[in-house]
Chain A
Amino acid sequence: MADNKLPSTFFNMVLILTLISAVATVALAYTYQVTKEPRALVEIKKTEAALKAILPEFDNNPTDEKFTLPDYPQLEFYPAKKGGQGIGWAIKTVSIGFSGEVWIMVGFDVNKHILNTQVLSQTETPGLGTKMTQDKFQAQFRGQNPAEFKLMVKKDGGSVDALTAATISSRAFCEALNKAAKALEQGGAK
């Protein structure tokens, strides 16, 4: 089988491997560039859809006015306005779940009560942690005041009903919301 192949001298081996790696790197760099924009667009579309679903009707462009706080560099604040008046905020928050990052968009009204939540992305265990995306789990957060409704699972002394057999995922969800609520208190209410 090796009759018509290049002999396995040290020089040949290094040359061929370097050549193949070089071509591969170039091909990938190209693909990366070509797909850069579409991939960024996907993120933007997801955010826009979440904003529409969570916030009450606004007439400004929250994405244009988005801001972050120095103490919470990962969180993004999207202020919603109507007729020049602030009507609430949507906050993109994140926490570490069982198998990776859990990104959530949570909406607060002007009284800092939770309007709604939407999971932007998660990679939890299918059938267990992934149930956090269901209304059945998220319904309990609607209309709650974080000052009274403790954003921790009941097991940890909070008010949240955890998902069956998915305590870590539930904790992650609460942690993300908690972060957002705290950030709102500490200067996010612009």
Chain B
Amino acid sequence: MNLAKELYRGIVKENPTFVLLIGMCPPLGVTNTVINGMGMGLATTAVLIGSNMVLALIKNIIPDKVRLPAFLVVIASFVTMIDLSMGAYVPDLHAQLGVFIPLIVVNCIILARAEAYASKNGVMASAVDGLVIGLGFTIALMIIGVVRELLGSGSIFNIPLLAEDATTILIFILPAGAFIAMGFLIAAINKLLKRFQ
């Protein structure tokens, strides 16, 4: 397995947020700061790797008709484990991400990878798939986070970069700005990808 090729696939070619356009709730909901975006991305990646591995392991004993509920229970278990762990070890981030943590279970990315990859491949390959797609997701969230935090609060990673009373475009940390920022980002990335093709 060519790790470099896999990384390129997950982060660029099949980036879930900018290319596949799935799992769009978190990119809009928790990217008001870069740290939130990164935290959510890493939590989702952890769930992705876990669920992909377990599902690849037991794929042969899941009767076809109960695929969906079986997937959901496995994914939900990992989400709950991450939820509990975050509450214990990173409480501030846990409070910031709030309701979006349990919502990882319905992040279309995880179900999509379970269906498209884990149910057809081996455990290690599925683990790597989870890792690279998760990384692509995390990077996408951080990029959006940088745009929104910089323009909306004048900081990155909570470190203020602009003067204390510089005008910031408040709209970017509010929902409306998230949509607009994402729209322009995807358009820009579309243009960039076209140029390299």
Contact, chains A and B (beta carbon distance below 8 A): yes
Give A residues with C-beta under 8 Å from B.
1-2, 4-9, 12-13, 16-17, 20-21, 24, 27-28, 31-32, 35, 38-39, 42, 46, 121, 123, 126-128
Kindly provide the distance from the CB of A43 to the nearest chain B CB, expressed in whole angstroms: 9
A35: B residues at CB distance < 8 A: 84-85, 87-88
Question: In the complex, are the beta carbons of A39 and B88 less than 8 A apart?
Answer: yes
Interface size on B, residues (CB 8 A): 33
Q: Can you give 20 A-B contacts (C-beta < 8 A)?
A: A5-B59, A6-B62, A12-B63, A16-B62, A16-B70, A28-B80, A28-B81, A31-B81, A32-B84, A35-B85, A38-B89, A39-B88, A42-B87, A42-B88, A42-B91, A46-B91, A121-B95, A123-B95, A123-B99, A127-B173
Chain A interface mostly: helix
Contacts of B152 in A (CB 8 A): 127
**B45-68 interface bits toward A, Cβ cutoff 8 Å, 1 = contact, 0 = none:** 000000000000011111111100
Q: How far is the CA of A76 from the CA of B152 in the complex (A)?
A: 37
Judged by a CB distance under 8 angstroms, whether B73 is at the interface is yes
B138 interface residue (CB < 8 Å to A) = no
* Measured CA separation A4–B61 after assembly (Å): 9
Chain A residues with CB under 8 Å of B87's CB are 35, 39, 42
Q: Is the CB of A7 within 8 A of B174?
A: no
Q: A16-B62, A127-B170 are in contact. Are A24 and B98 (CB under 8 A)?
A: no
Q: Evaluate contact between B66 and A8: CB separation under 8 angstroms.
A: yes
Interface presence of B107 (CB below 8 A): no
